[in-house]
Each structure stands twice: as structure tokens, then as C-alpha cells.
């Protein structure tokens, strides 16, 4: 990982913001690390002399727009061409199925929270395009929440990047942060589930 990060820094040093944009546009799809780690790495890169924090933040955000828009376009193309997604093992099939479940349950509100969850952030934009919902509606809701999601992890990475100079320590701290966030979310989800279950049982008890 250290070698990959060093190569990333070298590429950005040579080509500036364009390199940053390409790295994140590709990385959100293909890098074998959580997107949150990638965003926090962007914050770390912003502490170097090669980019400035605010312009770098908007470049990273632009890569998220490309990510979401690309998934929407693929879904829209498949939907308008009526191309069946038959292979159940296909990643597109799984994304379409998961995204459809969320859209059926929450409607377009699913786009407002999809970026905060792994895999769902890929499934929902694809399924929104597949369902022929207008891009403008999706973008207004989905990319607004994506801006919040990105800034959360970007500035966490920026904070750690200024205080921690060793890369292994940086990754360790980021993992601890992600675990902490996951635990808090798990507790919140469990409490919410218990309350909803209790609320549904009350009429039966009466």
C-alpha cells in the first residue's frame, strides 16, 4: 500500500490536479480499498505541497460526479434499450436488484443516503438510471448527499495527514475511525430496529 501511495503522489507531482482527478475517477470503481479510505487519502494528499486543499476537494468531488453519472448512464442505456440482465452472478444484476429494492422501498430518497453505505452507492445510481427517473432529480438529491459524504472523510484524512507523518500510522488511524463509525451506525440501526419492532407489536398486545 505504501508503494501504491508513493506512486500516486509521484503521478500527482508530475501532472497536478488532472492526475488527482484520474486517480479518483478510476479508484472509486476499481481500487481494492474502501471508497472511504480513498477519500481520506485525498485529504492526506491535500496536506502536501503538490495541491491546495480546497481546489483538491472540488477535484475529488468532480470525480464522484463522474462516478455517479457513469452508473446512471449505464443504467439508463440498459433501460431504454430493454436489454435484459439475465446473469444472476453478474455484478450489474446484483446492483440492479439491490438498487431496485431500495427504490421500491424508499423512492428517490434512497439516493439521499446511498453514498453513505458501501455497495449501495454503486447500486442506486445504476438502478435510478434503469428506472428512467430524470437525471436532474437524481443529481439534485444524490450529489448533495455525496458532497456531505465526501467532505466528511476528506477532512478527516486532511486532519490526520497534518498530525501523522507515518503512512502506516495514518492507515491504522483511518481504520480505527472507520470501525468507530461502523460501530456507532450499528448501534443506531439496532436501536431503530428494536423500536420499530416494539411499535409493531403494541397493537397485537392490545
109 in any annotated domain = yes
50 in any annotated domain = yes
pLDDT tens across 65-89, in order? 999 999 999 888 877 665 555 554 5
* Domain that includes residue 108, residue range: 2-166
Buried b (16+ CB within 10 A) or exposed e, 106-142: eebebbbbbbbeeebbbbbbbbbbbbebebeebbebb
Counting the structural domains of the chain, the total is: 1
67 in any annotated domain = yes
Q: Please measure the distance between the N-terminal and C-terminal CA atoms of the chain and give it in whole angstroms.
A: 59
The DSSP output letter for 89 is T
Of 19-23, 34-38, 87-91, 198-202, where does mean pLDDT reach its minimum? 87-91
pLDDT tens across 124-153, in order? 888 888 887 899 999 999 999 999 999 999
pTM metric for this prediction: 0.75
92 in any annotated domain = yes
State the Cα–Cα distance between residues 59 and 128, nearest whole angstrom: 24
76 in any annotated domain = yes
Q: Which helix (H) or strand (E) holds 104?
A: helix 91-106
21 in any annotated domain = yes
Amino acid at each position: 500500500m505504501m508503494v501504491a501511495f508513493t506512486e500516486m503522489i509521484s503521478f500527482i507531482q508530475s501532472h497536478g490536479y488532472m492526475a488527482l482527478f484520474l486517480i479518483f475517477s478510476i479508484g472509486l470503481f476499481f481500487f481494492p480499498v474502501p471508497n472511504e479510505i480513498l477519500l481520506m487519502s485525498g485529504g492526506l494528499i491535500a496536506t502536501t505541497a503538490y495541491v491546495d486543499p480546497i481546489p483538491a476537494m472540488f477535484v475529488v468531488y468532480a470525480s464522484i460526479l463522474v462516478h455517479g453519472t457513469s452508473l446512471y448512464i449505464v443504467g439508463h442505456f440498459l433501460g431504454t434499450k430493454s436489454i435484459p440482465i439475465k446473469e444472476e452472478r453478474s455484478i450489474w444484476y446484483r446492483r440492479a436488484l439491490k438498487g431496485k429494492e431500495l427504490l421500491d422501498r424508499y423512492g428517490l430518497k434512497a439516493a439521499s443516503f446511498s453514498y453513505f453505505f458501501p455497495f449501495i452507492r454503486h447500486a442506486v445510481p445504476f438502478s435510478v438510471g434503469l428506472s428512467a427517473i430524470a437525471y436532474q432529480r437524481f443529481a439534485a438529491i444524490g450529489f448533495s448527499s455525496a458532497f456531505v459524504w465526501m467532505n466528511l472523510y476528506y477532512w478527516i484524512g486532511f486532519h490526520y495527514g497534518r498530525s501523522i507523518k507515518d503512512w502506516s500510522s495514518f492507515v491504522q488511524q483511518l481504520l480505527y475511525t472507520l470501525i468507530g463509525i461502523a460501530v456507532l451506525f450499528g448501534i443506531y440501526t439496532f436501536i431503530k430496529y428494536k423500536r420499530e419492532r416494539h411499535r409493531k407489536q403494541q397493537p397485537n398486545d392490545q
